[in-house]
Amino acid sequence: MKDFFKYHFPFIAWMLAIFIQSSFPAIELPKVDLISADKLVHAGVFGLLAAFCFISLIHTTKPNVFSSKPLLWSPVISILYAASDEIHQYFVPNRSAEVQDWAADVLGIIIAILVIKYFLKNRYLLFGRTLTNESN
């Protein structure tokens, strides 16, 4: 049970936090000419989701198709969740589903996975467990 709260709960809690936050009517963030603060927030939030997903997958006790290739499945799961979040926002008053937001989510996810892959390649023990047979 301790491992659940250490490795899996952050992923589930972050997904729940994203869902709850996107259920509220929109607030306006200040616009920046080149990259808006909103897009940076999207990238950061979903990059963190991908990292939490990866950590959860590598600490799964029973091997399965998802835990066997976490560098493949964590971005897939996170990208699908980002798409479902945009669809969810379509039905929330004063919110809209935007492809640009989803693209920012995907960019954040890809950056997070590339950072994780870099740390694994260089054998940093950032994630508490190394993947020895990872072919991604």
Residue owning tokens 């936050």? 21
DSSP 122: T
Look at residue 136 in the predicted model and tell me its pLDDT.
47
Q: List the domain boundaries for the chain.
A: 2-20+44-121
The answer to pTM > 0.75 is yes
The residue ranges of the chain whose pLDDT is under 50 are: 30, 32-33, 135-136
Burial class (CB in 10 A: 0-12, 13-18, 19+), 61: exposed
Look at residue 128 in the predicted model and tell me its pLDDT.
55
DSSP 94: T
Look at residue 9 in the predicted model and tell me its pLDDT.
95
Question: Which residue, 5, 38, 35, 36, is CA-closest to 22?
Answer: 38
Look at residue 17 in the predicted model and tell me its pLDDT.
96
